[in-house]
């Protein structure tokens, strides 16, 4: 699944999510939006490290109306 991408309309913004998988795990190691690295926390999960939690206002502030690329490194 390394290199898989998905194009979505997120709240009126065109967004391409691209995934790079370097290890067998369930949680992202790094996320960037339009080449800007995001700080995030992990969702609580008692069995493994959880998914990324990013405030909606922070995410939306990095988007533009023309094109957006979200890179997720796993």
**Tens digit of each residue's pLDDT (9 = 90 or more) over 3-62:** 999 999 999 999 999 999 988 778 999 999 999 999 999 999 999 899 999 999 999 999
pTM of the entire predicted model? 0.90
**Tens digit of each residue's pLDDT (9 = 90 or more) over 45-73:** 999 899 999 999 999 999 999 999 999 99
For residues 3 and 48, the answer to whether their CB atoms sit within 8 Å is: no
**Residue 25 class from Cβ within 10 Å (0-12 exposed, 13-18 middle, 19+ buried)?**
exposed
Residue holding tokens 């790079």? 20
Spatial distance between the Cα atoms of 24 and 1, rounded to a whole number of angstroms: 11
Is residue 34 within a helix (H) or strand (E), and if so which, with residue range? none
């Amino acid at each position: 699944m390394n290199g898989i991408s998905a194009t979505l309309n997120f709240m009126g913004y065109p967004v391409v999510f691209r995934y790079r998988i370097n290890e067998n795990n369930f949680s992202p190691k790094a996320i960037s939006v339009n080449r800007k690295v995001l700080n995030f926390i992990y969702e609580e999960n008692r069995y493994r490290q959880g998914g990324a939690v990013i405030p909606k206002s922070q995410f939306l502030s990095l988007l533009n109306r023309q094109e957006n690329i979200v890179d997720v490194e796993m």
